[in-house]
Structure 1
Amino acid sequence: MCLRVLTPRGFDVALAEDGMAAISRLSSEKFNLCLIDVRTPNMNGEQLYSWILEHDLPLAKGVIFTTGDVASGETARFLASSGRPALPKPFSPSELLEKIQEMVAGL
């Protein structure tokens, strides 16, 4: 959905299937925004965010989390402590675009 919604609006979108693949891309490419699923295989969103804080602090300001786990106290605590915006799943294309546009305007 990210590709279908954001690419026609001029955004360059890169995908990573899990946190380890994301680190590989983040280590070799420059990004302004990062949409991170809290629950991913091999490395969860919290671990990926910690890596970003350590290795690319400016990108940390462009992180948006997604999660289908809005009921978990652990997830809620993490999201609150991160101070980053979150999109609860399922989200609509318009909600995604709105959140991305808010982030771009704030950078």
Structure 2
Amino acid sequence: MAEPEGSKKRILVIEDEPTIGLLCKRVLTASGFDVDVVNNGLDAKKVAEEKDYALCVSDVRLPGMTGIELYEHWKATKNPIAERVVFITGDTMSNYIRDFLKKAERSSVMKPFEPEDLVEAVRKALL
């Protein structure tokens, strides 16, 4: 059964690689979400102040402001989106990133990822 108009959950995707940003948008839109994509942390910071998002999918390494710095900013300013972030990374899981993800208790999806892995991580984070 389709959701009523206007009831789709809005997701912010922050990804500096255009093909991955487009893939995330297509996969999440096909799964019933309303998706906005930005390609850097500074734009994401601005957009998240202007719109309400149910969840954010963020690359860890971004130009201008990393996904980790953005998450820390949202936590410090008590933006509710900080509680619903799924990180995606192509990093080889450096100790710094692994320690951050463990401490922050946020989901992560490793690049390259299967579309269903992204959708599953998003759905779990929304519970």
Relative to the length of structure 1, the TM-score reads 0.90
Matching residue within 71, 96, 119 for 1:74:
96
Deviating above 3 A after TM superposition, structure 1's stretches of 4 or more consecutive aligned residues are: none
Matching residue within 71, 75, 92 for 1:49:
71
Q: What amino acid is the match of 1:14?
A: D
When the two chains are superposed, the root-mean-square deviation of aligned CA atoms in Å is 1.2
Which structure shows the higher helix fraction? Answer: 1
1:9 corresponds to 2:19: no
Relative to the length of structure 2, the TM-score reads 0.77
Asked if 2 retains the 8 angstrom alpha-carbon contact of 1:70 and 1:76, the reply is no
Gaps of 5+ in 2: 1-22
Which structure shows the higher strand fraction? Answer: 2
Q: Deviations over 1:56-103 (max 9, x none)?
A: 442112111111113311111111111111111111111011111112
Report which stretch shifted further, 54-63 or 39-48.
54-63
Distance 1:30 1:51, change over 3 A: same
Matching residue within 10, 23, 40 for 1:18:
40
